[in-house]
């Protein structure tokens, strides 16, 4: 074993080595020096029976033993490295990013330019945040999916063919953070109130007929974050949806209201989507009626 390994780690390594040699005896394989494919087969057999941390400690023990004896380290073999990388990825699950909360949102909105592209991007950011929408949902919105009512707007989101989810987005207290008035500013720039709600914009400011994609939403948010010096590794487009979940929970919104607004079906999923809030925070909220618009009004039309 290596010189600087602690006594506790040495004992664990000895137990790991004992387990590996017992497996090799059963499988009629040479335990030392071990061929990388033998080690790989051993590790693969542990998956599902042992915790990921145990599997990683086993390979660490084998690496330490081979290193101290001057033999090739099995954990450096590309096939073993690929297996371990996949194992860690499965264990950790999807990467969570920080939610964009109100302070950062305001910073973004203040920084976006007063250009055609900036007006569209501001509307995309606010609609994503206020609606708690996923990128795909934002990119697939049509003008006919939006109705203006006294309280704000009602948005029909296509969930699957023939089915939709209807949510309300109220007027904001401040002009800068109001998704309704920001959307109205964007609609004034469209030649037609039919077709995609959010559309591509040329460099010269001309609004094209075709809509943006979900990847375009990601790039819009990435560009907006870059303007305020934030990295995509810290925040993503999903951070806007997560921000709505966190901000609404802080404001007292209940689980039922958040599920209705976002279409996320379980409290556990809400917790995972929010990225930072622990589930007890969400579960402790009393069930309250959804805020915003609850009835559909007349369709928005342009003369």
Verify that 65 and 152 share a domain, yes or no. no
Give tens-digit pLDDT for 197-238.
999 999 999 999 999 998 899 899 989 988 888 776 677 778
Q: What is the pLDDT of residue 282?
A: 38
Q: Does residue 34 form part of some domain?
A: yes
pLDDT in tens, 118-144: 999 999 999 999 999 988 999 999 999
Check whether residue 68 and residue 202 sit in a common domain: no
32 occurs within a structural domain: yes
Examine the domain organization and report whether 250 and 143 are in the same domain. yes
Which of 50, 67, 92 is where one domain is finished?
A: 92
Q: Which two tokens stand for residue 75?
A: 């954990």
Domain count, the chain: 2
- The average confidence (pLDDT) of the chain is 81
Q: What is the pLDDT of residue 6?
A: 54
pLDDT of residue 288: 37
Q: Is the pLDDT of residue 105 over 80?
A: yes
The two structure tokens encoding residue 231: 């990295």
Q: Is 203 part of any domain? A: yes
∠95-98-99 over CA atoms, to 5°? Answer: 120
* 128 lies in the same domain as 201: yes
Backbone angles phi, psi at 287, to 5 degrees: -70, 120
Domain that holds residue 82: 7-92
CATH of the domain at 190: 1.10.443.10
Place of tokens 């599902």: 48
Global pTM?
0.59
The CA distance from 242 to 96, in Å, is 10
Residue 290 belongs to some domain of the structure: no
pLDDT at position 296 over 80: no
Quote the CA–CA distance of 276 and 271 in Å, as a whole number.
8
CATH number of the domain at 78, please.
1.10.150.130
Shared domain for 241 and 171, answered yes or no, is yes
The more confidently predicted of residues 38 and 293 is 38
DSSP of the chain, one letter per residue?
--TT--HHHHHHHHHHHHHHHHHHHHHT---SSPPHHHHHHHHHHHBTTB-HHHHHHHHHHHHHHHHHTTPPPGGGSHHHHHHHHHHHHHHH-SPP-----HHHHHHHHHHS-SSHHHHHHHHHHHHHHHHT--HHHHHT-BGGGEEEETTEEEEEEEEETTEEEEEEEEPPSSSTT-HHHHHHHHHTT-S-SSSBSSEEE-TTSPEEEEEPPHHHHHHHHHHHHHHTT--TTT--THHHHHHHHHHHHHTT--HHHHHHHH---SHHHHHHHHSSS-HHHHHTSPP-PPPS--S--PBP---
Q: Which of 62, 92, 122 is the last residue of a domain?
A: 92
Looking at per-residue confidence, does 25 or 13 come out higher? 25
């Amino acid at each position: 074993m290596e010189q600087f390994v602690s006594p506790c780690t040495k004992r664990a390594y000895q137990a790991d080595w004992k387990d590996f040699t017992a497996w090799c005896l059963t499988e009629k394989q040479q335990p030392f020096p071990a061929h990388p494919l033998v080690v790989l087969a051993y590790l693969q057999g542990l998956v599902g029976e042992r915790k990921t941390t145990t599997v990683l400690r086993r390979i660490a023990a084998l690496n330490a033993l081979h290193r101290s004896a001057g033999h090739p380290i099995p954990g450096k073999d590309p096939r073993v490295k690929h297996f371990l990388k996949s194992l860690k990825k499965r264990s950790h699950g999807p990467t969570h990013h920080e939610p964009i909360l109100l302070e950062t949102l305001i910073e973004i909105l203040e920084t976006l330019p007063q250009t055609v592209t900036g007006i569209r991007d501001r509307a995309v950011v606010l609609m994503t945040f206020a609606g708690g929408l996923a990128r795909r949902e934002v990119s697939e919105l049509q003008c006919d999916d939006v109705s203006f009512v006294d309280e704000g707007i009602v948005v029909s989101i296509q969930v699957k063919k023939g089915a939709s989810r209807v949510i309300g987005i109220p007027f904001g207290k401040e002009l800068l953070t109001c998704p309704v008035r920001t959307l109205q500013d964007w609609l004034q720039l469209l030649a037609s109130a039919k077709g995609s709600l959010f559309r591509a914009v040329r460099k010269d400011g001309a609004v094209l007929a075709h809509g943006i994609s979900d990847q375009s939403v990601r790039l819009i948010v990435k560009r907006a974050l870059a303007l305020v010096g934030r990295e995509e590794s810290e925040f993503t487009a999903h951070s806007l949806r997560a921000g709505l979940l966190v901000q609404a929970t802080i404001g007292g919104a209940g689980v039922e209201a958040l599920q209705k607004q976002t279409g996320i079906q379980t409290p556990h999923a809400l917790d995972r989507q929010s990225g930072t809030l622990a589930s007890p925070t969400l579960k402790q909220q009393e069930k309250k009626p959804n805020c915003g618009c609850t009835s559909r009004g007349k369709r928005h039309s342009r003369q």
